[in-house]
A and B are shown apart, each in its own frame.
Chain A
Amino acid sequence: GAGVSQSPSNKVTEKGKDVELRCDPISGHTALYWYRQSLGQGLEFLIYFQGNSAPDKSGLPSDRFSAERTGGSVSTLTIQRTQQEDSAVYLCASSRTGLTGNTIYFGEGSWLTVV
């Protein structure tokens, strides 16, 4: 596609429920990232996928968070047993490769509110 596509754009969920957030990267991009943006925390790195390599999960805040990338393209970020502190904007991004000089392009984000 023309840009990174994320869905849903907005999600309100009850505390304790599971949520899934989807990301469709730019076509042909092998590297995919998830970040979280929340008030007071700025932009936090969550997870990184590059091709068929094992993902870098070092930014996931707890074991309630997981992500997968199927077929090297679409990715799903899953938050289990959501808590109010999970309320944030979840931003997906992609780059042509994982090389550090490549530009990383962001989607519009999925705005998650846990009530």
Chain B
Amino acid sequence: AQSVAQPEDQVNVAEGNPLTVKCTYSVSGNPYLFWYVQYPNRGLQFLLKYITGDNLVKGSYGFEAEFNKSQTSFHLKKPSALVSDSALYFCAVRDSGGNNRLAFGKGNQVVVIP
């Protein structure tokens, strides 16, 4: 079964500094990887995904993520964090073998300090 680990509960970063949210995954086949963001009292909003091709994926709001097969990682990054980036971030994985489930990590709370 596929699974995702987001090792940090909370990430604090000063506004303007680089932001990194870590994610590692486990699947039996090839991984399809996703990042979602959740603002308070809202649903999940899609940021970006990796299916195949370039390991560096660019998404919404200036976010990007790098797929690293050898380290089974898919860390989310933003070069310069904004206060408005403060939210809950979820990494998710789906097995290319056709499993219907999108397995989510527990989420990381990002706090951007003005």
Binding site for B on A (CB under 8 A): 4, 33, 42-43, 45, 48, 50, 56, 59, 91, 93, 98, 100-101, 103-109
Taking a contact as CB atoms closer than 8 A, the residue among A4, A48, A103, A109 that contacts B100 in the complex is A48
What are 18 inter-chain pairs, A to B, with CB distance below 8 A? Answer: A33-B100, A42-B104, A42-B106, A45-B101, A45-B103, A48-B100, A50-B100, A93-B44, A100-B32, A100-B94, A100-B95, A101-B49, A101-B94, A101-B96, A104-B102, A105-B46, A106-B43, A108-B42
B80 at the A interface (CB under 8 A): no
Q: Are A109 and B43 in contact (CB under 8 A)?
A: yes
Q: How many Å lie between the Cα of A4 and that of B44 in the bound state?
A: 11
| Residues from chain B with Cβ under 8 Å of A107 in the complex | 43
B 33-67 binary contact with A (CB < 8 Å = 1; else 0): 01010000011111001010000000000000000
Residues from chain B with Cβ under 8 Å of A98 in the complex: 100
Contact A59 B101 (CB under 8 A): yes
CA of A50 to CA of B98, assembled, Å: 12
Inter-chain contact A106/B49, CB cutoff 8 Å:
no
Using known A-B contacts A100-B32, A100-B95, A101-B32, determine if residue A33 contacts B43 with beta carbons closer than 8 Å.
no
Whether B43 and A108, one on each chain, are in contact in the complex, defined by CB atoms closer than 8 angstroms, is yes
